[in-house]
Amino acid sequence: MTADRPVGYWLKHLDRLLERQFEEALADVSLTRRDWQVLDALAAGATTRARLHEALAPFWTAGNGPGPDEVLAVLAARGLTGQGTDLGLTDEGRAIHTRALERVEHTRSTVLTGLTPEEYAGTVRVLSVMAANAEADLAAR
């Protein structure tokens, strides 16, 4: 691995690889990465549409695949979540979430192999500063 490529290359490359890893890790439980994000947000307590949208906002952008409501409708049709105002996980949804969580944790662990907790925290800090700089520049235009 070389550092002679710009950060944008590595961000896009890592994002594509993570998408593939999630796709493969979650295939046997018939979930996509977006399905997983909705299930995990619900498991963490985002039991209203407003909370769900708020929890997923940093990860989802308009026009980039189905939105939370569309994913939620599919999960509800599969019997994994409640419908209407009851957005909690069903028993089947909790079981699928537990199985998927094992795979997601393994994927995360694999990606972080060779990094110390301090290196990971430093990477996140650097990326957050870069994002804040870009946001400030765009807001100033």
Q: How far apart are CA 70 and CA 101, in angstroms?
A: 22
Q: How far apart are CA 64 and CA 58, in angstroms?
A: 13
**Domains held by the chain: number:** 1
Instruction: Report if residue 53 sits inside a domain.
Output: yes
- Domain span including residue 45: 7-115
Instruction: Report if residue 69 sits inside a domain.
Output: yes
Instruction: Report if residue 131 sits inside a domain.
Output: no
Q: How far apart are CA 133 and CA 21, in angstroms?
A: 30
Give the DSSP letter of residue 131.
H
Contact 97, 89 (CB under 8 A): yes
Question: pLDDT tens across 36-50, in order?
Answer: 999 999 999 888 888
Contact 97, 39 (CB under 8 A): yes
Q: Is the pLDDT of residue 13 over 70?
A: yes
40 or 4: which leads in pLDDT: 40
Question: pLDDT tens across 52-111, in order?
Answer: 888 888 888 766 778 888 999 999 999 999 887 878 999 999 999 999 999 999 999 999
Beta-bridge partners for 21: none
* Residue for token pair 């694999």: 110
Question: Residue 84: what pLDDT?
Answer: 79
Question: Residue 2: what pLDDT?
Answer: 62
Instruction: Report if residue 92 sits inside a domain.
Output: yes
User: What value does the CA radius of gyration of the chain take, rounded to a whole number of Å?
Assistant: 17
The CATH number of whichever domain residue 104 belongs to comes to: 1.10.10.10
